[in-house]
């Protein structure tokens, strides 16, 4: 399988390029290095600011946002806007983004936006110049900052989405309808957990192949596929799908085994065990009963197992 291409802030363990000449280490990025291809960026360095440098900030003036360096009074708005466009002209095939939180260039949601050019202006939270450009240009892609990825639930959603997008990109490149059918079949339970209505629409698109051209089917499928992961799937969704999977094998189990699985679902519902524990039980049953359909479902193994970490800063352990 091809590796996902992720744009990542260069200061997150790749180079000492922060305003103070330092770097930061992100465990999730370190863990991903064996499984993805990173494209590193530091917008502030790219537009000519040195290391170390006086800090920049996002400030409003005349109804527009500006990238200002308070210590010098320099305005780098034109430079950063020009560089944003040039970067994506050079890098057209990107699968996801991990950007530095709170950065006036890379931040995606927790950046201070100052209401004026004065050093003492009040501020509200928004996106940095590069981060905002990314969110507008890639509305469906997996995009997160290293801070939010400390949360287990957010990290899981990001990884599920990232590897699903990358696999679909490979299928789309080959333009073989049987491969698209296989991709759809292997992702049915995952899609069902995230967006049951979307799954149905995808199935209808594939069913129309005899009435539409291959190009039309792939384009319509992609348009609908991109929407599948727009929202995280809640535990209730996963429980319904796992019960569906379990139902196909339960006749082969004794009463004790059935009760053990049902109790495990309740432990997951109460957030006492992660989702990965329950999917592992389903996977082991599928192997035991040689259920090829379930064994191949991405729901049971949506991304490399080495990326699953149980310890987390958040309270909700759902995979």
Model confidence at 15, pLDDT cuts 50, 70, 90, reads: very high
- Cβ(305)–Cβ(269) under 8 Å? no
Q: Which residue has the higher pLDDT, 157 or 317?
A: 157
Whole-number Å distance between alpha carbons of 313 and 152: 7
Name the residue among 274, 38, 279, 275 with its Cα closest to residue 162.
38
Separation between Cα atoms, residue 134 and residue 281, nearest integer Å: 39
How many Cβ atoms are within 10 Å of 283's Cβ, its own excluded? 19
User: Is the Cβ–Cβ distance between 297 and 188 less than 8 Å?
Assistant: yes
- Which pLDDT score, from 0 to 100, does residue 308 have? 79
CA separation for the pair 71, 56 (Å, rounded): 9
| Whether the predicted pLDDT of 318 surpasses 60 | no
User: What is the average pLDDT across 48-71?
Assistant: 95
Q: Is the pLDDT of residue 54 over 90?
A: yes
pLDDT of 82 over the 80 cut? yes
Q: Is the pLDDT of residue 242 over 60?
A: yes
Please report, for residues 29, 126, 236, 253, the alpha-carbon distance to residue 166 in angstroms, rounded to integers and kept in the order given: 17, 29, 27, 37
Of 209 and 86, the one with more pLDDT:
86
The answer to whether 191 touches 224, Cβ cutoff 8 Å, is no
Burial status of residue 144 (CB atoms within 10 A of its CB: 0-12, 13-18, 19 or more): buried
- Hey, what are 318's tokens? 């759902």
Strand order in the sheet with 57-61: 74-75, 64-69, 57-61, 111-114, 123-126
**Tens digits of per-residue pLDDT, 142-182?**
999 999 999 988 999 999 999 999 999 999 999 999 999 99
The 3-state secondary structure of 270-311 reads CCCCCHHHHHHHHHHHHHHCCCHHHHCCHHHCCCCHHHCCCC
- Which helix (H) or strand (E) segment is 125 a member of? strand 123-126
Rg (CA), the chain: 23
* Edge-to-edge strands, sheet with 143-145: 37-41, 5-9, 96-99, 143-145
- Is residue 77 pLDDT above 90, yes or no? yes
Q: What is the mean pLDDT of the chain?
A: 93
* pLDDT score at 1: 65
């Amino acid at each position: 399988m091809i590796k996902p291409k992720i744009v990542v802030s260069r200061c997150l363990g790749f180079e000492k390029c922060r305003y103070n000449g330092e770097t930061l280490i992100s465990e999730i990025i370190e863990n991903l290095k064996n499984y993805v291809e990173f494209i590193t960026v530091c917008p502030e360095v790219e537009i000519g600011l040195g290391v170390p440098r006086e800090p920049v900030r996002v400030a409003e003036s005349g109804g527009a946002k500006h990238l200002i360096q308070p210590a010098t009074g320099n305005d780098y708005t034109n430079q950063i806007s020009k560089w944003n466009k040039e970067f994506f002209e050079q890098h057209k095939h990107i699968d996801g983004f991990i950007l530095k939180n709170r950065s006036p260039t890379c931040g995606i949601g927790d950046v201070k936006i100052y209401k004026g050019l004065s050093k003492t202006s009040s501020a509200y939270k928004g996106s940095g110049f590069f981060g905002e450009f990314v969110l507008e240009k890639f509305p469906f892609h997996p995009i997160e900052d290293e801070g939010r990825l400390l949360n287990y639930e957010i990290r899981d959603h990001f990884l599920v989405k990232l590897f699903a997008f990358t696999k679909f990109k490979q299928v789309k490149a080959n333009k073989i309808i049987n491969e698209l059918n296989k991709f759809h079949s292997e992702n049915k339970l995952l899609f069902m957990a995230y967006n049951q209505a979307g799954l149905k629409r995808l199935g209808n698109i594939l069913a129309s192949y005899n009435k539409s051209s291959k190009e039309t089917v792939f384009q319509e499928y992609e348009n609908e596929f991109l929407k599948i992961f727009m929202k995280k799937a809640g535990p209730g969704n996963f429980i319904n799908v796992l019960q569906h999977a379990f139902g196909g094998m339960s006749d082969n189990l004794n009463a004790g085994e059935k009760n053990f699985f049902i109790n495990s679902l309740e432990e997951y519902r109460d957030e006492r065990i992660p989702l990965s524990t329950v999917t592992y039980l389903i996977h082991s049953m599928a192997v035991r009963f040689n259920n090829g359909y379930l064994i191949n479902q991405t729901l049971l193994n949506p991304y490399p197992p080495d990326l699953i970490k149980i310890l987390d800063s958040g309270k909700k352990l759902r995979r």
